Amino acid sequence: MASFDKKLSSILVKAGCVTKEQSEEYLAQAQAAGKKLSVILVEKQALTQDVLLGVIATEANLAPVDLNKVKVAPEVSQILPEEVATSYGVVPLDKIGDFLTVAVVNPFDVLKLDDIRIITGCELRTVVALEAQVEAVLAELYKSVEGRVDEMLGGFDEDNVELSENKQENDGAEMDLTAVSDGAAPVVKMINKIIFDAVTAKASDIHIEPFEHKVLVRFRKDGSLIKVFEPPKRLQNSMVSRLKIMSKLDIAEKRKPQDGKFQMKLGKQKIDFRVSTLPVVWGEKVVLRILDSSNLALDIKDLGFESKCMEDYLWACAQPYGKILVTGPTGSGKSTTLYSAIKHISSPDINIVTVEDPVEYTMEGINQVPISNARGLTFAAALRSILRQDPDVILLGEIRDKETIEIATKAALTGHLVLSTLHTNDAPSTITRMIDMGLDPFMVASSVLVIAAQRLAKRICKTCREPIEVPIERLIELGLPKVDIDAHEGDKTFYRAVGCSKCANGYKGRFALLETLRMTDSVKRMIIAGESVMELKKFAVEEEGMITLRRAGLRNAMRGVTSIEEVLRCSMAD
C-alpha cells in the first residue's frame, strides 16, 4: 500500500485538500508510525472520512460506498478467498449473473483488479471504500466460517509445525506457520491440520476435491483413498489459494494446471511435498504427494523380494557396467527399489550421480540433479553433462524418449552402471518397449543386465485376518505351480481380510512384488532373433526360472502375508 499512499498524497494536493509540504509531512508521519496515510489524515483531523472517500472516488471516476450502511450476505464470501480479499483490500458485495460488485481500497491498481477478475471468473463492478471499513467488514464476513472450522480443528496444536522455504531455490529461510495463522484465516490452521494428520497417518497423498455442493479431503494410505472429512464449501477457494501461496504458484491462474513444492517441518522431521493443481468442473483439484524420507527403507535386503529375484537384482548391482531397469505403474515403489540399489552400491571410491524429476529423497554422498524443463535441463541434457563428470553409477529417474534411452544405452556400454525406470506391464514387454522407442535389438541385448517389474501389494492385518481353505485346483488355476504347493505342503495357510480398528478394511502396510528377467546368453539370442514377448516370457519362466508377479503374489498369500483377492487385484494372470 506504500505506492497507494504516494498516489493518494498527489491526489489530495491536486484537489487542493492539502499543500505539497503538508502531504510530505503526513507521509513521513504515516511511515514513522507504520500506519496508512488515510488513517493519519483522519487522526490528525486534516480531512474527514467522507471528504477523503469523495476525493478518491472522484479521481477514480467510481462511486463511493459507506460499508457501515451495507449488509453483505455471508454466501458472497465463497466467491473470493479470504486471503486474497485481505491481501488485495477487496470486499465482495454482491453477485448478479456474471457481474461481481466489489468495494476496493485502491481502485488504481489495475493489475490486482485483473487478478480478482481471473480468480472469480466475473466481470467487476468496482466501488471505492475506506480501508478501515474494508478491514472491519472482512473480519465480520469471514467470522462465521471460523467458528465451524474451529470445531473441526478441535484441540489441534501447531506449535511443532513450520513451513520451510525450498532450499534448492533460495537461501533456506524458514517461516513459522503459527505466526501466519494467529491473525489470519482459519483456513491456514485447517491446511496445517490436514497435512499434520496425513503425515501422522503415514499417507502417501492428500487429495482436495471440489464438487458442486461439497469439498472432499481424502488421504491415500496403503494404496487406497480414504475420506477424511468435508470442509465447508465456502472454504474451497481459500484452501486452494493457501496451498498455492505455500508452493509459490500463481493464485490468479485457475484455468491451467500448475505444479509446485514446499517443505514442512513437524518437530525435528522435515518432509517435502509435491503439489499439483488441476482445473475441474467445480473448481481446482489439488493433490499433494508426501515425500517422507523416514518411510524409505533403504536396506535392499529388507525389501522382501523372492530369493530368486533378490539374487538377480544383487547380481546386476555388482556388475561394473550395464543397465538395470525397474518397471511398473506410478506409485508401484520403483523409486524405493532404485534408491535401495544406490545405497547398496554406494561407497567412498565410487562417483554416483542421479537425474530426477523432482529429487524425491536426498541422500548423503550422492550427487543429485533436479530436472528443470523451464531452464532447458531435460533428462537428455542432464545426462550428456553428467557423462563429462566422470561418473561410475548413474540413476535416471525415468526414461521418457528416444534421445534419453539412446544416451543411457551408450553410457551403459561404455563403462557406466545405469539404473532407471520405464512404464511397462511386466519384464518381458519392456524389451519390446525399448525397441519401439528406437533401440536396435542388439543394443537392447548388449546393454541390459536385468529388468525388474514391480507392484505394491497390501499386507493383510494380522489382528483380524481369518483363515480359509483354498482347493489346490483353484491355486493351480490362478497360476501357482504344483511345485510351489508341494514345497509348502505342511506350511501353507490362506487368510481373508476382515477389518478392525487397527487397520483399513483388513489391510495394514504394503510390500513389493518383483518379477526379474535376467539377460542370460539364451535370452539375448532370442531378443536379437526378434522373438515375441510371449515366447520370451515362456522361455524365461520354463527355462530360466523367472518368477512372475502373479506367482510371487500367490506365494506370499500362501505364507499369510496377503490375501488371494489382493494378489488378483495387483497382478495380471500369466
pLDDT tens-place string over residues 471-484: 889 989 998 888 88
Segments in 163-233 forming alpha helices (H): 177-181, 186-200
User: Does residue 178 register a pLDDT over 50?
Assistant: no
Return the pLDDT at 48.
Answer: 82
Report, as an integer, the average pLDDT of 488-511: 82
What average pLDDT does the chain have?
84
Return the pLDDT at 75.
Answer: 67
CA atoms within a 13 Å half-sphere pointing along the CA-CB vector of 492: 19
| Closest among 273, 268, 224 to 247, alpha carbons compared | 273
pLDDT tens-place string over residues 416-472: 999 999 989 999 999 999 999 999 999 999 999 999 999 999 999 999 999 998 888
Report, as an integer, the average pLDDT of 10-34: 82
> Which 8-state DSSP code applies to residue 348?
T
Report, as an integer, the average pLDDT of 222-240: 85
User: Does residue 565 register a pLDDT over 70?
Assistant: yes
Return the pLDDT at 534.
Answer: 93
Within 10 A of 111 (CB to CB), how many other CB atoms are there?
Answer: 7
pLDDT tens-place string over residues 61-104: 989 888 888 877 766 776 777 777 887 888 888 888 888 888 99
Return the pLDDT at 182.
Answer: 39
Which of these ranges, 146-155, 169-178, 378-387, has the smallest mean pLDDT?
169-178
pLDDT tens-place string over residues 100-125: 888 998 888 888 888 888 888 888 89
Compute the distance between CA of residue 12 and CA of residue 41 in angstroms, rounded to an integer: 11
Q: Give CA angle at 231 (137, 249), nearest 5°.
A: 75
User: Does residue 153 register a pLDDT over 60?
Assistant: no
Return the pLDDT at 171.
Answer: 36
What is the β-pairing status of strands 269-280 and 283-291? antiparallel
Within 10 A of 337 (CB to CB), how many other CB atoms are there?
Answer: 22
pLDDT tens-place string over residues 31-42: 787 777 777 787
Report, as an integer, the average pLDDT of 201-208: 91
Q: Are 571 and 513 in contact (CB under 8 A)?
A: yes
Q: Are 522 and 452 in contact (CB under 8 A)?
A: no
Return the pLDDT at 180.
Answer: 40
Which residue do the cell numbers 449488509 mark? Answer: 71
pLDDT tens-place string over residues 545-558: 999 999 999 999 99
Q: Which residues pair with 284 in a beta bridge?
A: 279
pLDDT tens-place string over residues 280-326: 999 999 999 998 766 565 677 777 789 999 999 999 999 999 999 99
Q: What pLDDT band is residue 144 in, cutting at 50, 70 and 90?
A: low
Return the pLDDT at 179.
Answer: 39
